[in-house]
Amino acid sequence: MLPTEQIPATIGTREEKISPVKLAAVQYVIATIILVLLAGLWRLQVLNASDFRMLAEANRIRKVPILAPRGKLLDREGRLIVDNYSSVACYLLREQMHDADAEIRMIADGLHLTPDQVQDTIRHYQYAPKYQPIPLKADISPDEQAFIEAHRNELPELELLEEQRRLYPRHGFAAHLIGYVGEISEQDLNNPKYAFYEPGDVVGKSGVEQAYDSLLRGEDGSRDLIVNSHGREIGKLGEELAKPGQDLRLTIDLDLQTAAEKAMEGKNGALVAIDPHTGEVLAMVSRPVFDPNQFAVRLTRTYWNSILTDPEHPLLNKAIQAQVAPGSTFKIIMSVAGLEQGIAQTQHVVCSGGAEFYGHYYHCDAHHGNVSIDNAIPQSCDVFYYVLAQRLGIDTIARYATAFGLGQKTGIDLPEEAAGTMPSSQWKMKNFHQQWFAGETISVGIGQGAIAATPLQMVRALSGIASGGALKRPHIVFPQEIPEDQRSAFAESFPGSGDKNVPIQSAVWQTVTEGMSAVTTYGTAASVHLDGIDFAGKTGTAQVMSHDASARNGGGKKTQPNSWFVGISPRRNPDIAVAVLWENGNWGWHAGSVAAQVINAFVEKQRSHSKNLLIAQAPAPAPAAQGSDADKQDDGGQKNGDTDGNKNEKEPTASAEAPAAKPVHVKASAGGAGT
């Protein structure tokens, strides 16, 4: 045992003490943590209580959209053209998905889709809010609806939604005029015009459907549903009803459109009929056609590829987008220019089948002999207009053609109208940095060369000339039926030459319209003359390639000229004007026969309406005198207390004795030979 003095004094007696500074620091840290926790609790329980309450409600409330039905399209008489039909679509609620891979395979099998198609749809909407339902498949079949109902527990993310789908006329009837609808594209969403649209919205893609989409689409509503933890509906909280789109009454006459469709059957090209007094489009046809019903639900890749690769371009509305040489129909504008300049009145040529200009020989279709302005139009003598073009010069020709709307849009309320081309010396310098050569003017004089126009431009120009120089802006929808606050906005959306008046001397007007009348009596379209109808017009045979090129290509169908005709009735201040472009249709009178069918249908309908009007307005025969003397007419012609003896004996507004051989037109046409 060690001595006591050898044991260290500190063993069992030393105490380890924490410094006051460290102790204070620990206390402050603990206090701070407590304060932070209390602040967070205060924020959750008091400050943001309403926000978290809404989030909690959202976990049990599902907002289901109610899609607004699009407005219907009617003809000018209120007859239905485009309607809607009830359909059921399947939407996907991504928030409800648990095992995505397994569920996607199951969904694909039940909806007759491939897993890749489902994945592509989800990927397409990856940037959309996750709470937003996304369209998975439209217009599902009854067996697909039964699959969804039977698998509510396994697939709570599938939602059925009733909606209205477009129902278009069959066989592409008026397809280019009406257009079609489809799901909005990513490119559209980047356009400020579609700033208020969302992915999955159905919008107009062409025609009236696109031009008036904002009026036709309406405003969607929504329905709030209470759902359980499995996503099954257990109640309803309320709903905001959708506002249907506005119905639109088009200027189209369904009877005339039917006649035009029949007349263009089996042909490629376009037909457009207008009312020159107002600019209302009465009929519009483009061939070949497409089926807009194919776009209304789900467009198959096979059909899409077939129309994209079709060399005849079925999606092109050739009435307003085909830019081709107008051929001899342009000679009417040439005649006006020559007469207004005081040149054509005294011009006489001898046509021997062609003439030489600037070292090149230009052909004519016949040996016309002595030609003046009086027979130049009905015989369509090229030599006469070669000489006239040489004397006028390209800039004078361009000035008159531009005044009548060539080389610029008309302003029709349809998307993607083409402007065409009206060449001039300034135009060539601007576009090609080259000087215009005098020899180029010769071909322009007969509507060939660099000039290009649409059927709508030509029917507006020639009917405007026949109306004394009054050109109206063509339109498909009655402007007065568009909300006033949107009327100017729609007009600005389709810029063009609009309404205008081009001064034409009375003598010029009469000479040109008489020449157009002679075209259908003894001229180039005599074979399409309509008995009893004041039917005038101008043919056009526009080459698509030179004679030498045609011979090198074997002279097949595609080498034949385009057939043009612009017809009016009556010859002055016409009530209807029709332009026909028959691609590779050869001679212009071929297109004239098409226009004649539409003109005849129009006049016959007007006659029928006038006859019915006369019958309705004819006074009823007086009944046999019966009863007391007080009921009989007295010597002063008074009856039953009438003070005016002629009150019930007014003449009908139209004469029942009008000769049957004359066409009857509803509208007044001052100076019209056919009224």
- How many other CB atoms are there within 10 angstroms of residue 613's CB atom? 15
Query: pLDDT at residue 623 above 90?
Result: no
Q: Pick 626 or 179 by higher pLDDT.
A: 179
DSSP secondary structure code for residue 131 in this structure? T
Q: For the chain, how are helix, strand and coil distributed in percent, rounded to 5?
A: 40, 20, 40
Query: Quick one: pLDDT band at residue 622, thresholds 50, 70, 90?
Result: low
Query: Quick one: pLDDT band at residue 236, thresholds 50, 70, 90?
Result: confident
The predicted pLDDT at position 503 comes to 95
Kindly report the backbone phi and psi dihedral angles of residue 538, in degrees, each rounded to the nearest multiple of 5, phi listed first.
Answer: -150, 130
> pLDDT digits over 144-159, tens only?
889 988 888 888 888 8
What are the extents of the domains in the chain?
A: 62-249, 254-607
The predicted pLDDT at position 27 comes to 81
The predicted pLDDT at position 537 comes to 97
Percent of all residues in the chain with a pLDDT value above 90, rounded to a whole number: 52
144 contacts: CB under 8 Å, gap ≥ 6:
90, 110, 111, 112, 137
Section 280-290 average pLDDT: 96
* Separation of alpha carbons 93 and 158, rounded Å: 6
* Separation of alpha carbons 417 and 409, rounded Å: 7
Query: pLDDT at residue 3 above 80?
Result: no
Q: Pick 578 or 656 by higher pLDDT.
A: 578
Q: Pick 622 or 600 by higher pLDDT.
A: 600
Omega within 30 of 0 (cis) for the link into 288: yes
Query: Quick one: pLDDT band at residue 551, thresholds 50, 70, 90?
Result: low
- Which tokens hold the place of 206? 């062409």
- Which tokens hold the place of 326? 């107008």
pTM for the whole structure: 0.78
Kindly report the backbone phi and psi dihedral angles of residue 89, in degrees, each rounded to the nearest multiple of 5, phi listed first.
Answer: -115, 155
Rounded to 5°, the CA angle 210-211-217 comes to 60
* Separation of alpha carbons 338 and 344, rounded Å: 5
Q: Specify the range with the lowest mean pLDDT, choosing from 187-191, 243-247, 394-398, 412-416.
A: 187-191
* Separation of alpha carbons 89 and 106, rounded Å: 18
Nearest C-alpha neighbor of 297 from the set 403, 172, 164, 418: 164
The predicted pLDDT at position 150 comes to 87
The rounded mean pLDDT for the chain is 84
> pLDDT digits over 452-493, tens only?
999 999 999 999 999 999 999 999 999 998 988 888 888 888
DSSP secondary structure code for residue 83 in this structure? E
- How many other CB atoms are there within 10 angstroms of residue 141's CB atom? 12
The predicted pLDDT at position 617 comes to 73
> pLDDT digits over 646-669, tens only?
333 333 333 333 333 333 333 333
Nearest C-alpha neighbor of 330 from the set 522, 533, 579, 514: 579
Strand partners, 74: 80, 249
Percent of all residues in the chain with a pLDDT value above 70, rounded to a whole number: 83
- Which tokens hold the place of 417? 């109208």
Q: What CATH architecture applies to the domain 62-249?
A: Alpha-Beta Complex (3.90)
Dihedral sign of CA atoms 294, 299, 302, 304 in order: positive
Q: Specify the range with the lowest mean pLDDT, choosing from 106-110, 246-250, 340-344.
A: 106-110
Query: Quick one: pLDDT band at residue 632, thresholds 50, 70, 90?
Result: very low
Q: What CATH architecture applies to the domain 254-607?
A: 3-Layer(aba) Sandwich (3.40)
The predicted pLDDT at position 137 comes to 85
